[in-house]
Amino acid sequence: MTITATEEQRVPARSAPDRQRTPRASFGRILDAEWTKIRTVRSTTWTLSLLFVVSVGLTGLICWGVAGDLAAGGTDESPGAFATWGLMFGQIAALVLGVIVASAEYSSGMIRTTLAASPRRWSVLLAKAFALGGLLLVLGTATSVASFLTGNFFLGQEGVGLALDDPGVLRTLFGGGLFLAVLGLFGLGLGMLMRHTAGAVTVGIALIFVLGNLVGLVPGALGEWLTKLMPGNAGGSIAVVESFNPDLLDPWVGFAVFSGETALLLLVAGVLFSRRDA
Amino acid sequence: MITAERLTKRYGDKTAVDAIDFTVEPGTVTGFLGPNGAGKSTTMRMVMGLDRPSAGSVTVNGRAYRDLPAPLHEVGALLEAKAIHGGRTAYNHLLWMAKSNGIARRRVDEVIDLVGLTDVASKRSGGFSLGMGQRLGIAAALLGDPGVLLFDEPVNGLDPEGIRWIRTLIRSLAAEGRTVFVSSHLMSEMALTADHLLVVGKGRILADTDMNDFIARNSAGYVRVRSPQAGELAERMTGQGWRVERADDGAMAVYGATAEAIGDIAGAHGLYLHELGGVQASLEDAFMRLTEDSVEYHAGVPGAAHAPDSAADQTHLTPAGV
């Protein structure tokens, strides 16, 4: 590209200090900036598309596959366990998006620009959490509703469909959004803590998906409680009409536990963030 | 105005910045010169509140960076080329920055224009060349029309045209009364842009001086003379108490004299001169000597000879590749 070098040296003269206009990097502005950041990179579009397509697609697929079996009574499972089944996989995208929102700042070095613009680090973290959480709440709810409608369509064809006023159905529709939003924040916390995309995604998947199943192998009551309290297990119940595992915490109790764990993670990440060199 | 007091940064038992004091004044370009690893970038990051000092303090306009209500309006920084997310367009990068500090959208267009990125404003910055990335970084630094500007190694990796562009820009920013703090590991670059010089080595300030003073004190200048009557001329010059050395190519290097004085001597004795010119010893060498051994610097300044005439000065100061 050609750049006009010498004639471009005109820097607009500094306006005389205008004291009426006392600009402030207020929280609202930092939030606006963080929201602008999230919506202007393609990774956001990609992860959210994946979240939607995988969740809705897999739910449709499994419901289409098991509806006949369920109708014939060939399985002990209830239709409610399948109605949003795809979210189990789609949720990985929410976790990854949360991680990226934090870790991409470090992999690109942009964290320095971010903190030069808004040096109050707790405000930056909070703004990121609001922007990400809000986005995932809306798209997560849409995903959850679309998954349910798709899955339920196939279940309904075999006469095992659910009605909106069946127990847990409404809770599931909104719970999906809540769960995905908090899961994204969990990823944000991990990303902030580890400052490395691959590392944080690996740890996140291990904590949410792998360890959640493995701790069940610990014998006795300890194993039972660990299973109940692992973040993925505790939080996931709110996003399904009925859980495959009957020993998990009650959906809302579980969600409260998961939110608490996420808050704790963000708190630790925030303390380190505000202390560490950028 | 940037003020550092006993500013210190330690990493474990390694001291990167060792209790330095300095002031960067408005209206001048202050060069921050030192070899790689001298603590320049660490210092600049501390100015920006990115790294926390282990001891001491640094303020911008009398306040710690973290306490600035809208920092982009007061401080602009080009910290390194890669402080930008490559997946975002140049425009959007500047847009989120503008939003964070309540800067009007039209100012984004203005700075894009100013740095000459108008044609690629809607392209993702990941595909930018080093020079374009640097221009985007400068647009970001100028976004809030700040009175204090920091440039960390701004010419690194740029082509000659880009180097000249940045140099002129830096000079004009200072001419407008802004405080400009530029780091570099190239003495030749500093000689062309800076009015004031802070030399650092191993985390300490080795020199805090006016640029012209530094040049005068640290350059062992001599006058290069060629004459068909070299023998006689050498005798006359030695007779004046000047030191004369024979160069490999038959010319002579005369120390302690000005070109005018030598010309006068030759003329007075009817001697022909085929060449006469002042030669500035490389400032790069002076800088190397300075940073090599910081203790010796204060004891004795090498070669406090007469500065050769200024025309020759300029030619020899201009670094290679410009």
Distance CA B184, CA B49 (A): 20
Structure confidence at residue A266 as a pLDDT band (50, 70, 90): very high
Residue B295 lies in a domain: no
Question: Is the Cα torsion angle B105, B111, B116, B122 positive or negative in sign?
Answer: negative
Instruction: Give burial (CB, 10 Å; 0-12/13-18/19+) of B256.
Output: middle
Give residue for tokens 């990440």. Answer: A269
How many domains are contained in chain A?
Answer: 1
- Using a CB-CB cut-off of 8 Å, the residues of chain B touching A120 are 66
* B209 and B245 co-located in one domain: no
Residue B153 lies in a domain: yes
Distance CA A76, CA A62 (A): 16
CA distance B278 to chain A (A): 31
Probe site for chain B from A36, A195, A275 (most B CB atoms < 10 A): A36
Are B165 and A6 a contacting pair at CB < 8 A?
yes
Domain boundary among B163, B194, B216: B216
- The percentage of chain A sitting over the pLDDT mark of 90, rounded to a whole number, equals 82
Q: Which residue has the higher pLDDT, A49 or B158?
A: A49
pLDDT at residue A125, as a whole number: 98
Q: Is B10 on the interface with A (CB under 8 A)?
A: no
Average pLDDT (A233-249) is: 92
Pair A177, A147: CB distance under 8 Å: no
Residue type, B192: L
How would you classify residue B303: left for phi > 0, otherwise alpha for psi between -120 and 50, otherwise beta? left
Residues of the domain holding A111? 26-275
Nearest-5° Cα angle at A161, A159 to A162: 145
Average pLDDT (A153-180) is: 95
Residue A94 lies in a domain: yes
Distance CA B268, CA A253 (A): 105
* B45 and B66 co-located in one domain: yes
* B85 and B205 co-located in one domain: yes
Residue B273 lies in a domain: yes
How many domains are contained in chain B?
Answer: 2
Domain boundary among B216, B244, B268: B216
pLDDT at residue A155, as a whole number: 95
pLDDT at residue B301, as a whole number: 41
Q: Is B307 on the interface with A (CB under 8 A)?
A: no
Residue A65 lies in a domain: yes
Structure confidence at residue A13 as a pLDDT band (50, 70, 90): very low
Are A37 and B96 a contacting pair at CB < 8 A?
yes
- Using a CB-CB cut-off of 8 Å, the residues of chain B touching A117 are 71-72, 97, 100-101
State whether ipTM is beyond 0.85: yes
Residue A19 lies in a domain: no
Residue B305 lies in a domain: no
Dihedral angle, C-alpha B183, B186, B189, B191, nearest 10 ° = 90
CA distance A23 to chain B (A): 6
CB pairs under 8 A between A and B: 151
pLDDT at residue A244, as a whole number: 87
How would you classify residue B270: left for phi > 0, otherwise alpha for psi between -120 and 50, otherwise beta? left
- Listed range (A71-85, A93-107, B133-147) with the worst mean pLDDT: A71-85
Residue A20 lies in a domain: no
Are B176 and A13 a contacting pair at CB < 8 A?
yes
Residues of the domain holding B63? 2-216
* B204 and B233 co-located in one domain: no
Residue A160 lies in a domain: yes
The interface residues of chain B toward chain A in range 92-151, judged by CB-CB distance below 8 A, are: 92, 95-97, 99-103, 110, 114-116, 119-120, 131-132, 135, 140, 142, 145, 147
Residue type, A145: V
Residue B297 lies in a domain: no
Domain boundary among B264, B279, B294: B279
The domain that holds B103 is classified in CATH as: 3.40.50.300
Residue A18 lies in a domain: no
**Among A87, A247, A252, CA closest to A168:** A252
Dihedral angle, C-alpha B57, B63, B65, B67, nearest 10 ° = 120
Residue A5 lies in a domain: no
Mean pLDDT in chain A?
A: 91
Average pLDDT (A47-73) is: 95
Report mean pLDDT in 10-residue bins for chain B, 322 residues: 96 93 96 91 95 96 95 93 86 97 96 95 92 92 97 88 93 96 90 93 92 77 88 90 83 87 92 88 73 48 40 37 32
Q: A277: helix, coil or strand?
A: coil
The domain that holds B267 is classified in CATH as: 3.30.70
Residue B287 lies in a domain: no
Residue A7 lies in a domain: no
- In three-state form (DSSP H/G/I as H, E/B as E, the rest C), the secondary structure along chain B is CEEEEEEEEEECCEEEEEEEEEEECCCCEEEEECCCCCCHHHHHHHHCCCCCCCEEEEEECCECHHHCCCHHHCEEEECCCCCCCCCCEHHHHHHHHHHHCCCCHHHHHHHHHHCCCHHHCCCEHHHCCHHHHHHHHHHHHHCCCCCEEEEECCCCCCCHHHHHHHHHHHHHHHHCCCEEEEEECCHHHHHHHCCEEEEEECCEEEEEEEHHHHHHHHCCCEEEEECCCHHHHHHHHHHCCCEEEECCCCCEEEECCCHHHHHHHHHHCCCCCCEEEEECCCHHHHHHHHHHCHHHHHHCCCCCCCCCCHHHHHHHHCCCCC
